[in-house]
């Protein structure tokens, strides 16, 4: 049988021959069960997580006696940041040892890692495209960025021209100080709130929330 676990040792999916799946289920080697080392003792899934490497645990090498009928080979799955996000395990009846199975588990884990990396890159491409579209809009119209304290953290050249000011005269000032009592300008939300590194404005944890607005001259 082939088993996929999360980083905490919980079994997410188990597939294989029905007779062996039924036998494995009797020792809770099935979806939803946790096979961390501190719960099940020495076993391929839990030991692979704790040691961060591929391992095999054969027959009586399992800490729990009821698991001695198992031969298991497992390899951790890492994300792009080098953190374990899961484990791929191959389990079968004891007495049927095959040294190639550890290599197969390793290859399977590597394929999962490559798929995770591909998904991550695809997400970055989408984000980059969205950023490019926003950048294009910023070049064409006035854009002003205000943090949750009402401080202007950024304004593009077009926005400064609409206000009749220089960018350096606007950035870092309160919106109320810049606009004063003027009623000839309107602010329209341009994008949803987003998080950037802490700088001007109030910190929430290690982040600051800013809002991007389109700046227009009121008709």
Q: Which of 3-7, 52-56, 105-109, 142-146 has the lowest mean pLDDT?
A: 142-146
So what's the pLDDT on residue 100?
87
In the predicted structure, residue 88 carries a pLDDT above the cut 50: yes
The verdict on 13 and 117 lying in the same domain is yes
Looking at the chain, the whole-number percentage of residues with pLDDT higher than 90 is 45
| Segment 177-210, tens digit of pLDDT | 887 755 556 666 654 443 333 333 333 334 445 6
The answer on 152 and 112 residing in a single domain is: no
Indicate if 29 and 87 belong to the same structural domain. Answer: yes
CATH number at residue 174: 3.30.450.20
**pLDDT value of position 11:** 95
Q: Is 82 left (phi over 0), alpha (psi -120 to 50) or beta?
A: left
- Domain boundary (122, 153, 178) is at 122
Residue 42's contacts (CB-CB under 8 Å, 6 or more residues apart) are 57, 61, 62, 63
**Whether residue 80 has pLDDT greater than 50:** yes
pLDDT at residue 116 in the model: 86
How far apart, in whole angstroms, are the C-alpha atoms of residue 14 and residue 20?
Answer: 11
Tens digit of each residue's pLDDT (9 = 90 or more) over 56-75? 999 999 999 999 999 999 99
Residues 112 and 141 in one domain: no
Q: Verify that 74 and 94 share a domain, yes or no.
A: yes
Residue 25: its pLDDT value, please? Answer: 93
- The confidence band for 53, taking pLDDT boundaries of 50, 70 and 90, is very high
pTM of the model: 0.58
H or E element that contains 90? strand 84-93
Q: Are residues 94 and 174 in the same domain?
A: no
Range of the domain at 87: 2-122
Phi, psi of 209 (to 5 degrees): -100, 125
> In angstroms, rounded to a whole number, what is the distance separating the alpha carbons of residues 49 and 202?
39
Residues 8 and 112 both lie in one domain? yes
Residues 38-43 have a mean pLDDT of 95
The CATH number that applies at residue 20 is 3.30.450.40
Q: What is the mean pLDDT of the chain?
A: 81
- The total number of structural domains in the chain stands at 2
170 or 200: which carries more pLDDT confidence? Answer: 170
User: Do 137 and 114 share a structural domain?
Assistant: no
Mean pLDDT (whole number) for 141-165: 82
Mean of the pLDDT values across residues 118-136? 67
Please tell me whether residues 34 and 137 are part of one structural domain. Answer: no
Residue 118 shares a structural domain with residue 135: no
The CA distance from 193 to 154, in Å, is 14
Residue 45 and residue 23 share a domain: yes
The top-scoring range by mean pLDDT among 4-18, 140-154, 198-212 is 4-18
If asked whether residues 108 and 138 sit together in one domain, one would say no
């Amino acid at each position: 049988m082939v088993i996929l676990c999360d980083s905490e040792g919980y079994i997410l999916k188990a597939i294989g021959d029905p007779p062996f799946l039924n036998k494995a289920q009797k020792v809770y080697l099935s979806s939803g069960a946790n096979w961390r080392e501190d719960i099940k003792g020495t076993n391929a899934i839990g030991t692979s997580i704790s040691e961060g490497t591929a391992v095999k645990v054969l027959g009586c090498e399992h800490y729990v006696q009821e698991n001695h009928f198992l031969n298991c080979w497992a390899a951790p799955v890492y994300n792009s940041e080098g953190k374990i996000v899961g484990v791929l395990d191959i389990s079968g009846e004891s007495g049927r040892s095959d040294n190639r199975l550890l290599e197969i588990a390793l290859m399977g884990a590597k394929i999962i890692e490559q798929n995770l990396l591909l998904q991550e890159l695809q997400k970055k491409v989408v984000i980059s495209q969205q950023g490019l579209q926003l950048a294009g809009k910023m070049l064409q119209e006035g854009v002003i960025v205000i943090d949750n304290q009402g401080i202007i953290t950024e304004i593009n050249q077009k926005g400064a021209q609409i206000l009749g000011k220089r960018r350096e005269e606007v950035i870092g000032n309160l919106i109320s100080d810049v606009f004063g009592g003027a009623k000839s300008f309107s602010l329209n939300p341009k994008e949803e709130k987003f998080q950037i590194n802490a700088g001007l404005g109030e910190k929430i944890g290690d982040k600051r929330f800013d809002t991007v607005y389109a700046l227009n001259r009121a008709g």
